[in-house]
Chain A
């Protein structure tokens, strides 16, 4: 088990290397000349040349990559052009709201998706099943910004119970922080629960037809116990996979949701940095999110072995 985990952790290194190369290449090969773009149309060629030298953009690409990569290994993602601060510091400052929003949305998606999926499977082809599937489909087709605006309209503007915008750090009180997150995480989590419902349902349907489910019933266990203990446990591998995927989707969705709810998170930083052409920040954020994604996959892989003893270490 420990050896498997070690092996799996080590196998992440080449993946991260590829991620680093791709991120660098994407920014440097597609964005055009950042210096020219940053200075705008009125810049003189001399200004542009000076800025290029300042940013090190006049050196060969391979040298630039090498410098960037060496710094990266020391945890240095470079400095923001606009904020005049280290990129990593800028990201860390904005990380809490985004992580909280993503985690809460994931919680919402799982708490809606898994139970509805299980119920749909147990009550297959009844009106409950159809209701959940239709609601899920509807939810998945609603853009989360639209749902966000709807929620703001109902709960914040009309009922005036929940804050419609902004964020309060968790250090200033857990409930205060959660209050700010309820509407955004519903807006982000609900549309993303539909996929979890679908996968849970189909995975449970497979399992419920298995012989060991009937054997468990023949032992005298109640239907609920059989469903929750024997069946759900076996249906967990596909569910874990889709929950991992959803986490990644939610990090992407956070960009839009943070804008709608005016939350000062990484997503807002991305949007701002794109408008400011602050490419070191964009590069840094893409790298951090990609690494998080790789890490989530790693966690999911390790969880597989916990959930299913047949998976070889």
Chain B
């Protein structure tokens, strides 16, 4: 059985403008030690999906209205808040996009890493400090004995993201959710952080849910990929398969916008238009207003997610045709 199995997850926000389905029937699964990439432009519902798994969707206005999230054999949506606290930071850890603001400015690095350790592992504060130093060493921070006593503002963005990773992995979680962990970093640091995450996954056997808007990041790290658009998964398969034969026009559009080194042309091809306002989802396929291949059927009704062979799922009326 898979470590994480999300089925038909629906999370919506109720605001003065009405009810907005930010995540609308999402299903996927993730095995121990594997990496699942979740890709999509900003506003597609990736963060809300991960916050739903953590049961940290701000409520109000957000609410998980439907679905199951089976983790290690138990439905997280059935757990009480007290039970969830034992899962968070312990069995499922999360790192966020903004390393500059994700650490509390008034506590030292050691205090912040040690907090989760003392909470979940019942270690004394001295043991927790030793463990914090060990974790900092693990994520490649030089002179960790000195760094534990420092405050976040004394570190660079890349260093802070390493600290976040150290903090997230300190209790050996089975699942690490990384929500755009490299987006705020510059390119060389991005590569280092991804490499670190890959390396630690090999050593610790952690499953990773890697959320990003950049297919290029997924190419190097993920085993499976789910592409999200406007709250729904539009294409899902193994990473190799996706890069070999992408089927959904949205996926193809995302691929064309990956910068290719040495391809002379510096201009990126981006998909025209923007992610639809969730309060006014277009009728039919949610992508059709931006799609070059849209036909009448696409404007009429929404396609289902169908298997086009070998577990390659696509949500498109023209999925069978070769689009590229």
Using CB atoms and an 8 Å cutoff, list the residues of chain A in contact with chain B.
210-212, 214-222, 230, 233-234, 307-310
Identify the stretch in B94-102, B127-135, B140-148 within 8 Å (CB) of chain A at 4 or more residues: B94-102
B105 and A220 form a contact (CB under 8 A): no
List the 8 closest pairs (A to B, CB-CB), nearest first.
Answer: A220-B89, A219-B89, A220-B88, A211-B101, A212-B104, A219-B116, A218-B94, A211-B102
When A211-B96, A309-B151 are in contact, do A220 and B90 touch as well, CB less than 8 Å? yes
Closest-by-CB residue of A relative to B86 is A220
Quote the shortest CB–CB distance from A306 to chain B (angstroms).
10
A310 and B105 form a contact (CB under 8 A): yes
* CB < 8 Å neighbour of A218 from B89, B106, B107: B89
Can you list 27 contacts pairing A with B, beta carbon distance less than 8 Å? A211-B96, A212-B101, A212-B103, A214-B96, A215-B103, A215-B104, A215-B164, A216-B104, A216-B115, A217-B56, A218-B88, A218-B89, A219-B88, A219-B115, A219-B119, A220-B87, A220-B88, A220-B89, A220-B116, A221-B89, A221-B115, A221-B119, A234-B105, A234-B106, A308-B105, A308-B106, A310-B153
Task: List chain B residues, Cβ under 8 A from A214.
Answer: 56, 96
Bound complex: CA A147 to CA B50 (Å): 53
Bound complex: CA A214 to CA B94 (Å): 10
Task: List chain A residues, Cβ under 8 A from B153.
Answer: 309-310
* CB < 8 Å neighbour of A215 from B85, B102, B105, B106: B102
Bound complex: CA A214 to CA B55 (Å): 11
Task: List chain A residues, Cβ under 8 A from B56.
Answer: 214, 217-218
When A211-B98, A218-B94 are in contact, do A234 and B120 touch as well, CB less than 8 Å? no
Quote the shortest CB–CB distance from B80 to chain A (angstroms).
12
Q: Of residues 42 to 100 in B, which have CB atoms within 8 Å of A's CB atoms?
A: 54, 56, 85-90, 93-94, 96, 98
Task: List chain A residues, Cβ under 8 A from B107.
Answer: 230, 233
Bound complex: CA A220 to CA B81 (Å): 10
Quote the shortest CB–CB distance from B99 to chain A (angstroms).
9
Task: List chain A residues, Cβ under 8 A from B103.
Answer: 212, 215
Closest-by-CB residue of B relative to A309 is B151
Using CB atoms and an 8 Å cutoff, list the residues of chain B in contact with chain A.
54, 56, 85-90, 93-94, 96, 98, 101-107, 115-116, 119-120, 151, 153, 164, 167
What would 20 more interface pairs be, CB under 8 Å, given A219-B119, A220-B89?
Answer: A212-B103, A215-B102, A215-B103, A216-B104, A216-B115, A217-B88, A218-B94, A219-B93, A219-B115, A220-B90, A220-B120, A221-B85, A221-B89, A221-B115, A222-B85, A233-B107, A307-B106, A309-B105, A309-B151, A310-B153
Quote the shortest CB–CB distance from B306 to chain A (angstroms).
35
Bound complex: CA A233 to CA B119 (Å): 19
Bound complex: CA A212 to CA B96 (Å): 10
Bound complex: CA A169 to CA B87 (Å): 57
Task: List chain A residues, Cβ under 8 A from B104.
Answer: 212, 215-216, 230, 233-234
Bound complex: CA A242 to CA B316 (Å): 59
Quote the shortest CB–CB distance from B9 to chain A (angstroms).
18
A233 and B106 form a contact (CB under 8 A): yes
Task: List chain B residues, Cβ under 8 A from A220.
Answer: 85-90, 116, 119-120
Closest-by-CB residue of A relative to B106 is A233
Bound complex: CA A215 to CA B113 (Å): 11
Bound complex: CA A211 to CA B97 (Å): 9
When A220-B88, A234-B106 are in contact, do A215 and B96 touch as well, CB less than 8 Å? yes
Task: List chain B residues, Cβ under 8 A from A217.
Answer: 56, 88
Most chain B beta carbons < 10 A, residue from A212, A214, A233, A308: A212
Task: List chain A residues, Cβ under 8 A from B115.
Answer: 216, 219, 221
Most chain B beta carbons < 10 A, residue from A216, A218, A234: A218
Closest-by-CB residue of B relative to A222 is B85
Task: List chain B residues, Cβ under 8 A from A221.
Answer: 85, 89, 115, 119
Task: List chain B residues, Cβ under 8 A from A233.
Answer: 104, 106-107
B54 and A218 form a contact (CB under 8 A): yes
A218 and B98 form a contact (CB under 8 A): no
Bound complex: CA A235 to CA B232 (Å): 39
Task: List chain B residues, Cβ under 8 A from A218.
Answer: 54, 56, 88-89, 93-94, 96
Task: List chain A residues, Cβ under 8 A from B86.
Answer: 220
Quote the shortest CB–CB distance from B176 to chain A (angstroms).
11
Quote the shortest CB–CB distance from B105 to chain A (angstroms).
6
